[in-house]
Chains A and B, each alone.
Chain A
Amino acid sequence: MNLTLLFLLHHSRAMFSKGTKRKFSDGGEELPEEGLPGSNEELSSVSYSLQRQSLLDMSLIKLQLCHMLVEPNLCRSVLIANTVRQIQEEMTHDGSWQAATMMEAFAAASAAGSGAAGPPERLVATEVLCRPGREMNGSPTAEPKLFSVMGYEECREEEVVAVEEDSICSEAASNVCLSGSMGHCWERGMLRGERELDSRLGAPDEDVDVEEEDEEEEDDNELEGCREEGEAKAMRQVFGTFEIKNSHPGPESALEELFSDVDASYYDLDTMLTGMQAAPKIGPYDLLDSLSQSHTPSSLSSASNCRSDLNELDHIMEIIVGS
């Protein structure tokens, strides 16, 4: 074996890789902890729910890409799907928690200091009235299960059951996809106080009826509602990605549905597609920066952005699918 030769070859490649090395999400970590003024809970909760929303969108896209593969990496797909379920649960929980605050838990919330209901930033317009009664009945039965896993401690098996309401009462689930209030931390040290409050309040909320709050939020932004509705649809589809050769609608139609609803413009599809090899071009906090700049985040503006990006996305997807 010729060691000298080896070193030569490696050396040249080493130079190359140095030149192309990318930095990894510069300075991102400052944002969550000290970047936000502690007094301004509204701001932090908005940023939290935005982060959560962007995480959800990212996860849905990842799942959809898994879905296009004949044989995806099952472990990865399952972990992403569980993440989506977890976010979904938390969003569901947020909504009920708000209703509870209004009805009975104002005192508890103010005692805890940081909590008072977050801005109804992305509350969902519902179609309570147009839903079939059967599905409406489905939601209250699903709710307690959802709350029972909110502690996450022993959520192994129950979680499975709780989040499978997709199949039973999917419409109901889509309607309780609320966000905008405080939730659990998604990054250590961030909003910790609020999370503690949240989990403390979690238990008493179990018996809250979702329908009540649905009515209260009914007049909210319609676009939002459609979007959430669509996400729930996408979720129903992506949860089915595990079965090899399953009988879901073809990738094209599924894609169309997904991308008309999820704002993919924030994501570097290339990064996600190339997966392991690619160094991240944009960190999540860059995403958030862009989110906060456009200010009317992910609602009106994203809906229109989304349309304009659709052509490009379609093109990318064509390449991926190979059509």
Chain B
Amino acid sequence: MKCFSRYLPYLFRPPNTILSSSCHTEADIISTVEFNSTGELLATGDKGGRVVVFQREQESKNQPHRRGEYNVYSTFQSHEPEFDYLKSLEIEEKINKIRWLPQQNAAYFLLSTNDKTVKLWKISERDKRPEGYNLKDEDGRIRDPNTITSLRVPVLRPMDLMVEATPRRVFSNAHTYHINSISINSDYETYMSTDDLRINLWNLEITNRSFNVVDIKPANMEELTEVITAAEFHPNHCNTFVYSSSKGSIRMCDMRAAALCDNHSKFFEEPEDPSNRSFFSEIISSISDVKFSHSGRYLMTRDYLTVKVWDLNMESKPLETYQVHDYLRSKLCSLYENDCIFDKFECVWNGSDSVIMTGSYNNFFRMFDRNTKRDVTLEASRENSKPRAILKPRKVCVGGKRRKDEISVDSLDFSKKILHTAWHPSENIIAVAATNNLYIFQDKVN
């Protein structure tokens, strides 16, 4: 990709929010975005527990400009608010993460999780309906056996296409703390779910048993100084996974070494720069997201101010460090006061691992080209992204003099943050979640 700014913006919103009212509610805020492995589908989860799946339009010859548009394919309520009577606490329905399983038949499968429970959903199409059962009438009622006098062969009749989402497995009661990550193993049989203190390994078929692979809970909770913030399986090696911590380190574990991976096989950590040391050092070094590159060679981590790329063969320091919004370094106290410093920004790789993307404030998001070392700040906004217009790079002004088109640090809107983004697995199509809006941008087609 030569020029980042050549994106054609499209704008989508979850359909229910359009129908309900112009004023969005807390429940409409998008909490996760994920493409499936082919990029044909894009799923979003929101705070209201809903999952919306978008499907990419097939290319049509008479409307070439419509290529690649995503339309709503299926919407379903994945999680409902619950109440834990034993602990007397409410369990939010907010979808924390969605992960697609590789497609193996005509149906699609995805895992979605809230704070406590992971669910396996099957999304399938139906355009035929069986009719003429012997034992049931047309409405599904069981017929009186005495009235059945002849044998009929049921037939399939065509009907309008219907997309169904059905829960196939519910994995519950394994997490005491809040689930922050789920990751499907490359063996496609197992997955892991991670909360603040533990990582559990599940078989996708078995819901009543999971194996605890990491447990960092101290015997005395008052001694707790570190939590797990994210975890992911290696894309090719089914025995390897990594997890990141609130102290800025990443541990890589090998499940062949022991059933309980309390001892890591690799420990990635950058020595702290003494010149940048402050009371906020630990908070800003806390890792909010960790992602393997598609190749499996690199790791990417996001902390509050930077995104770092690590080579799996070098634990002592990151290969590359990119400043996401360094101008906030002088504002850390205010960001601590208003709690923004605890925002969990995620990060994604492009299909070829050459570009990385992550979010910032003021509906800005950043892209870094690892080869050319160029970076760009773009804005997901309604005013600036007319359909098929080209996104203009934005600039934040740090010093005293503000040029035209620049925005000063003091006028950034910290309530508009882009935490969740996704990149199509093979093309330059990105999805950016900005509160209740989902923006899908596409590299310009010549």
Chain A contact residues, CB within 8 Å of chain B: 1-3, 5-7, 9-14, 17, 21, 23-29, 51-52, 55, 58, 62, 70-71, 73-76, 78-79, 81-83, 85-87, 152-153, 156, 159-160, 164, 166-167, 184-188, 192, 195, 199, 239-240, 242-246, 267, 271-272, 275-280, 283-285
Contact = CB atoms under 8 A, between A and B. Distances in A.
Contacts of A13: 22-23
A158 to B, nearest CB: 10
Contacts of B88: 70
A55 B279 CA distance: 9
A61 to B, nearest CB: 10
Given A152-B281, A243-B222, 5 more contacts: A7-B11, A27-B410, A164-B223, A184-B277, A280-B338
A83 B283 contact: yes
B188 interface: no
A78 B278 contact: no
A62 B71 CA distance: 43
B342 interface: yes
B211 interface: no
Contacts of A83: 279-280, 282-283
B330 A6 contact: no
Contact of B276 (A25, A188, A240): A188
B224 A78 contact: yes
Nearest to B386: A7
B65 interface: no
Nearest to A86: B279
B330 to A, nearest CB: 4
**Shortest 10 CB-CB distances between A and B: which pairs?**
A284-B333, A10-B382, A275-B339, A280-B338, A74-B196, A243-B221, A9-B22, A29-B330, A70-B89, A242-B221
Contacts of B222: 164, 166-167, 239-240, 242-243
A249 to B, nearest CB: 15
B337 A21 contact: no
Contacts of B221: 240, 242-243, 246
B282 A79 contact: yes
A73 B342 contact: yes
A279 B415 CA distance: 6
Contact of B330 (A55, A81, A166, A188): A188
A79 B338 CA distance: 15
A278 B338 contact: yes
A24 B410 contact: yes
A6 B411 CA distance: 26
Given A17-B413, A75-B246, A153-B271, A160 B225 contact: yes
B331 A29 contact: yes
A25 B414 CA distance: 12
Contacts of B416: 17
Contacts, number: 179
Nearest to B276: A188
Nearest to A189: B330
Interface of B: 11-13, 15, 18, 22-23, 71-72, 87-89, 176-178, 196-197, 221-227, 229, 246-247, 271-272, 274-283, 286, 329-334, 336-340, 342-343, 381-383, 387, 409-416, 437
Contacts of B12: 1
Contacts of B412: 24
Given A21-B413, A276-B340, A153 B282 contact: no
Contacts of A70: 87-89
A12 B21 CA distance: 13
Nearest to A69: B89
B331 A6 contact: no
A6 B414 contact: no
A9 B336 CA distance: 33
Nearest to A90: B279
A13 B223 CA distance: 46
14 contacts: A6-B11, A7-B11, A13-B22, A24-B411, A24-B412, A28-B330, A70-B88, A75-B342, A78-B226, A78-B227, A152-B281, A242-B221, A244-B176, A279-B413
B274 to A, nearest CB: 8
Contacts of A6: 11, 13, 18, 382
A316 B271 CA distance: 43
A64 to B, nearest CB: 14
A76 B342 contact: yes
B441 to A, nearest CB: 15
Residue picked from B333, B340, B409, most chain A C-beta under 10 Å: B333
Contacts of A186: 278-280, 333
Nearest to B15: A1
Contact of A75 (B196, B271, B274): B196
Given A3-B387, A280-B337, A187 B330 contact: yes
Contacts of A24: 331, 334, 409-412, 414
Residue picked from A6, A24, A82, A188, most chain B C-beta under 10 Å: A24
Contact of B333 (A55, A74, A164, A276): A55
A152 B337 contact: no
Nearest to A245: B87
A180 to B, nearest CB: 17
A275 B225 CA distance: 22
Contacts of B276: 188
A79 B283 contact: yes
A13 B330 CA distance: 31
A149 to B, nearest CB: 11
Contact of A12 (B22, B337, B415): B22
Given A79-B246, A152-B272, A246-B221, A23 B278 contact: no
A78 B246 contact: yes
A152 B277 contact: yes
A71 B89 contact: yes
Contacts of B382: 6-7, 10-11, 14
B247 A156 contact: yes
Contacts of A76: 339, 342
Contacts of A243: 221-222
Contacts of A280: 334, 337-338, 414
Contact of B338 (A12, A85, A271): A271
A280 B278 CA distance: 21
